[in-house]
Amino acid sequence: MRQAGICSIIGATLLASTAMAQDAGPVAGASASTAHPDLWPQARSRGLVDPATEAFVTELMTRMSLEEKVGQMIQADTSAITPDDLRRYPLGSILSGGSSPPLGRPDRSPGPDWAATVNAFEAVAMEPRTGHTAIPLIFGIDAVHGNNNVVGATLFPHNIALGATRNLDLTRRIGDATAQETAAAGIHWAFGPTLAVPQDDRWGRTYEGYSEDPQLVRAFSGAMVEGLQGKPGLTTIQVGRVAASAKHFLGDGGTTSGVDQGNTELSEAELIATHAPGYPPAINGGVMTIMASFNSWNGQKMHGNRSLLTDVLKGRMGFDGFIVGDWNGHAQVAGCTKTDCAASFNAGLDMAMAPDSWQGLFDTTLAQVRAGTIPMERVDDAVRRILRVKHRLGLFDTARPFADRPGVIGAPAHRAIAREAVRQSLVLLKNDGVLPLRPDAKLLVAGTHADDIGLQSGGWTLSWQGDGNSNADFPNAQSIYAGLAEAVRAGGGSATLSADGSFTDRPDAAIVVFGEMPYAEGRGDVRTLEFEAGDKQSLALLQRLKAAGIPTVSVFLSGRPLWVNPELNQSDAFVAGWLPGSEGGGIADVLIAGPDGAPRHDFRGRLSFSWPKTAGQFTLNVGQDGYDPLFPYDYGLSYAQGGSVPQLAEEAGVDASLANTGVFFARGRVPGPFALQLDDTVTQGAVDSPLLQEGALQLRWRGAGTARITGPELALSRETNGDTALQLQYRMDRVPAGPVQLTLGNGALDVAGLLVAGGWRSLRVPLHCFAPATADAPVTIRAAPPFTLSLAEARLVNGPEGAQCPAK
């Protein structure tokens, strides 16, 4: 497995201000998280409500039991439910999350395994049984850049790249192809488009947004909804359309410090102006579902905000589809848990995404309806909306001509659209005349991302984080190197792959493809916009080529604009390639000239996000006061219209150590911004680690006392909700007689029982055992003699094996 940069594997965030990631309830006094609907834009769902559908739903509802109604309101994940469970729990929907494979199959499985999974659940839902009302399921998946969980599917560039194309017709065609490939895997519902308007590029989901500019997001919204669903009223699964889900409502792109699932602190007018514009076109275009967001608005979680979910979205904006929750998002509402949240349903949530919590949530919700805590009218409204969508989508008609239809997934016509999108999304930032490259040139192709389809596709690719993929997992795809090689081979030239840039035969030019390692959601949150802060491997490669006098073209792959001034200075040409997906050949189409030396395709991409001049321009957005980017919004050079870039300043403007939010001890030292503090009773000495001479620190307790690693405040609620653990690599040299207290944030645990003597070991404690919201001392060990512990490493890791809470 590849090792991602610290900042990309660990989403922990250093707090710049006290963002409230957890619901603190509405801000006291002023009702700053209560919306005034008449201030909001109006909209009207089209194509969802019609007399025949409503009559059908009314009749059906008269036959449904209360259990069946509550079941419609709950969605489970395939990783935590079997088809058989549906006999006892008549749920209305199933999803497969980013890390959930098809039933009984490994991750990275092809279309037929998915269709079989959907069928297995559907068969039970539709089974004739006494006392059971047969109602089709709606099965959803994150088809966010193509049907990206399915092996062989066409992978389109992520939304940030589509924003750079400015091409709405192309986006519509991408939506159409994505819908077909989703329906061909038997799936009914795509959890997209993301209508976030990312305002702080440290946010790990920046690439899921089309633009920092609300008006551009507005334009893309209508195009993608029409692509996925077709024109209002024409969305049926029988013609290869799927339900879309505009997400995440509302303000996901506006959280303080760009913290995923954080708090969006804005006036109502700002929330409307910046974050709402994508929704009216989606609703007017007939979008069938809208996903509630994890974030808070002024301290109140969106899953519990009645004024926004009900009064604004269903009232003022006339939304007639249903609101689905995000992954246990209801659990973050004040007073709720994963299995108990009347407040969210009462606020207007129609279907809770309860991946692993569906059973408990079903039981509790049923009891709450019986007790009147959730009014029957609310249940009937939610169920009507869900059944309306199912009916309009054609799910009551069992014909599924697209499911398993051969030739749809990865169809050449779809791949051609994706390749067109790659070509059009490339933004030329700099060209000193080296581009286009002649087709008969002898090229060196270098860099970490040159021949790696997983890396060029980013997060949400076969796995949730987009990690762990190899080229063999992409049967219908081409790496960037393979595309370049094909183009020059056809033109009489040659391309040699050399990841580290070394060569024996001197090339005419080098293309270096490098960038961010894949990430999704909070794991992509970063602390500075400096690329490869503290570890400038790609820059070193560029410097070597420059020193050798080789003309060099950089192709930079990233989910956001990053500060790359040193890399720009070392490059003769520099292309922002975003996250292009399966069609690496689209890069060669633009970089490699035709036989006559003239470009085959010009650069057309223009920045939909402003490019920063320093690593500290986190919230650089077009239209703001004092706007001072390196490359402004809309920037993009072309062959037709050149433009040169002068030597750039190489001061990052931000302390690189801030990028480190998850490594507290490694290689014999405490890396910045963290520091070690020992009580007088604890002494230290260097010892060897398994890897390194003097790579570990031996801590000896001479009296009761504390060893503590301190640093700036870290926001950890996102990690605590997930599967992140604190991992210590240690050797216990003297066994303690009493407790060994390990503290993180506000949580303290006695880990004496988990420590094992004899050799180097790893202690892994899930963050949820500590339940920290924040921490300014990520590791504190309190003990009394006898106790001697050698420490080789202390860090946060995601999803490790064998993590456990100590016994109470």
Distance CA 137, CA 115 (A): 13
Q: Helix, strand or coil for residue 771?
A: coil
Site string for ligand BGC, 183-202 (x = CB under 6 A): --------x-----------
Contact 257, 11 (CB under 8 A): no
Site string for ligand BGC, 334-373 (x = CB under 6 A): ----------------------------------------
Facing residues of 128 across strands? Answer: none
Residue with Cβ nearer ligand BGC (247 or 731): 247
Give yes or no: 326 in active site. Answer: yes
Which residue in 722, 745, 766, 778 binds ligand BGC (CB under 6 A)?
Answer: 722
Sheet arrangement for strand 774-775:
13-14, 714-715, 774-775
Facing residues of 99 across strands? Answer: none
Which residue in 68, 113, 142, 340 binds ligand BGC (CB under 6 A)?
Answer: 142
Q: Does 326 bind ligand BGC (CB under 6 A)?
A: yes
Q: Which residue has the tokens 């909306």?
A: 385
Q: Does 460 bind ligand BGC (CB under 6 A)?
A: no
Residues 6+ apart with CB under 8 A from 693: none
Which single residue brings its beta carbon nearest to ligand BGC? 97
Catalytic site residue from 122, 201, 311, 326: 326
Q: Does 464 bind ligand BGC (CB under 6 A)?
A: yes
Contact 250, 302 (CB under 8 A): yes
Residue 715 CB, nearest approach to ligand BGC (Å)? 16
Return the structure tokens found at 46.
């089209």
Residue 719 CB, nearest approach to ligand BGC (Å)? 10
Residue 243 CB, nearest approach to ligand BGC (Å)? 13
Which residue in 327, 402, 514, 701 binds ligand BGC (CB under 6 A)?
Answer: 327
Catalytic site residue from 521, 525, 530, 532: 521
Stretch that binds ligand BGC, among 98-106, 230-238, 765-773, 778-786 (CB under 6 A): 98-106
Number of residues interacting with ligand BGC: please give it, by CB under 6 A: 12
Facing residues of 788 across strands? Answer: 700, 734
Return the structure tokens found at 468.
């762990």
Residue 303 CB, nearest approach to ligand BGC (Å)? 12
Residue with Cβ nearer ligand BGC (462 or 755): 462
State which amino acid sits at residue 171.
T
Residue with Cβ nearer ligand BGC (191 or 770): 191
Crossing angle of the two packed helices 168-183 and 214-229, in degrees rounded to 10: 40
Residue 310 CB, nearest approach to ligand BGC (Å)? 21
Residue 793 CB, nearest approach to ligand BGC (Å)? 25
Residues 6+ apart with CB under 8 A from 638: 428, 602, 603, 604
Distance CA 421, CA 216 (A): 17
Return the structure tokens found at 414.
């779809």
Q: Does 467 bind ligand BGC (CB under 6 A)?
A: no
Backbone dihedral region of 19: left (phi > 0), alpha (psi from -120 to 50 degrees) or beta?
beta
Q: Does 618 bind ligand BGC (CB under 6 A)?
A: no
Residue 271 CB, nearest approach to ligand BGC (Å)? 19
Residue with Cβ nearer ligand BGC (279 or 464): 464
Q: Helix, strand or coil for residue 162?
A: helix
Stretch that binds ligand BGC, among 9-17, 97-105, 215-223, 228-236 (CB under 6 A): 97-105
Q: Does 719 bind ligand BGC (CB under 6 A)?
A: no
Give yes or no: 532 in active site. Answer: no
Beta strands in 52-149 (DSSP E): 74-77, 93-96, 138-141
Site for ligand BGC in 470-529 (CB under 6 A): 521
Name which of 470, 483, 486 is nearest 151 in CA terms. Answer: 470
Biggest CA-to-CA distance, the chain: 81
Residue 234 CB, nearest approach to ligand BGC (Å)? 24
Which residue in 53, 82, 99, 337 binds ligand BGC (CB under 6 A)?
Answer: 99
Strands 747-750, 741-744: pairing is: antiparallel
Q: Does 559 bind ligand BGC (CB under 6 A)?
A: no
Name which of 517, 562, 425, 563 is nearest 145 in CA terms. Answer: 425
- Cα-Cα end-to-end distance for the chain: 35
Which residues form the catalytic set?
A: 326, 521
Binding site for ligand BGC (CB under 6 A): 97-100, 142, 191, 247, 326-327, 464, 521, 722
